[in-house]
Amino acid sequence: MRRAVVIGTGAHLPERVMTNHDFPAHLETNDEWIQTRTGITQRHIAAENETTSDLATAAGMQAIKNAGISADSIDLVVLATTTPDETMPSTATKVQHRLGITRGAAFDVNAACSGFVYAMAVANNFIKAGAARRVIVIGAETFSRILDWNDRGTCILFGDGAAAVILEAQENTNDKMGGRGILHSGIYSDGQYTALLNTTGGVSSTKTAGVLTMVGKDIFRHAVSKMPEAVTQGMKEINLPVSAIDWLVPHQANMRILASVAQKLEIPEEKVISTVSGHANTSAASIPLALHLGSTDGRIKQGQLIACPALGAGLTWGATILRW
């Protein structure tokens, strides 16, 4: 059976760190509120001239190096972002060129905070269909550009960053343990909820990018029900119990969401990888950033079962389940 196996990861965060203490007094927020309600202590913010493609290229280069492959062996670049450099061309094509890839195809996927899970599903299906052998999946965002810095309900929640994984088609016969690679990539959406999390503008509606608005409580409610559901459904489909999961690596929006998702799945806290304190919510970059961290600090080991659920604007949601 052909599977999409992760053979390398990379990450890049902007140099500038903004702590909870750095918000101006007129915002009427404070470190204690932010930490208690979200678990966030700081976020990285892109420099004025630093774009999503800059972050994505740096993360991509590191992933290629860590995988020990040549850039030109990559057949497909799938870049998950809601904050592209420009409306066109896709940020993926810019990154493809900057990574030194001169063949194959590149495109963006916009599924907001579920972007990485969506991009993994696309890549997985290309690989399973035999249409690509090596795919780089990148989650990259500069959400700082679309925040209303006067809205304390949203601007404290997000940060910038990028991370990448290289997927390679491998023939896998070890079916006893499910084999290495992506075992399940479930994606879902329900457009009746667009108003819960969106921007106030866009190319075709206002000819601007707009700023992010969110009904936080409702998004919270959907996140803590749909993310565990997506994992439960995925585990059912691959015929493994939820207790077989070694690491839960969810989208990193709010520590309370992570805790609730883990609790609903009866996964102990020690098996949850969290970056929300140091990076805040980096949207499509958050899961690959956490995967990169967990695998480079030695927690995630080859052969372990990882579940990555996400939920974002759309609403979109889903889960990637893979054996590392």
* Catalytic residue positions, numbered: 113, 251, 281
CB of 38 to ligand UT7, least distance (A): 5
Nearer to ligand UT7, 20 or 96 (CB): 20
Stretch that binds ligand UT7, among 28-36, 50-58, 123-131, 294-302 (CB under 6 A): 28-36
Size of the residue set binding ligand UT7 (CB under 6 A): 22
Q: Does 320 bind ligand UT7 (CB under 6 A)?
A: no
**Where would I find the beta strands (DSSP E) of the chain?**
2-12, 16-19, 42-45, 76-80, 105-109, 134-142, 160-171, 181-189, 197-199, 212-214, 247-248, 305-312, 316-323
Tell me if 149 contacts ligand UT7 by CB under 6 A.
no
User: Which residue, 25, 106, 5, is CA-closest to 60?
Assistant: 106
> Minimum distance between the CB of residue 170 and ligand UT7, rounded to whole angstroms?
32
| Binding range to ligand UT7, per CB under 6 A, among 76-84, 172-180, 203-211, 249-257 | 249-257
Is residue 312 near ligand UT7 by the rule CB under 6 A? yes
Query: How do 42-45 and 2-12 pair as beta strands?
Result: unpaired
144 part of the interface to ligand UT7, by CB under 6 A: no
Token pair listed for 253? 């929006």
Residue 232, token pair as written in the block: 């439960």
For the chain, the maximum distance between any two Cα atoms, rounded to a whole number of angstroms, is 60
In angstroms, the CA 280 to CA 277 distance is 6
Measured between alpha carbons, how far is residue 206 from residues 74, 145, 201, 211, 215 in Å?
Answer: 37, 17, 5, 12, 21
Interface with ligand UT7 includes 194 (CB under 6 A)?
no
Binding site for ligand UT7 (CB under 6 A): 29, 33-34, 37-38, 113, 152-153, 156, 197, 216-217, 219-220, 223, 251, 253-254, 257, 281, 311-312
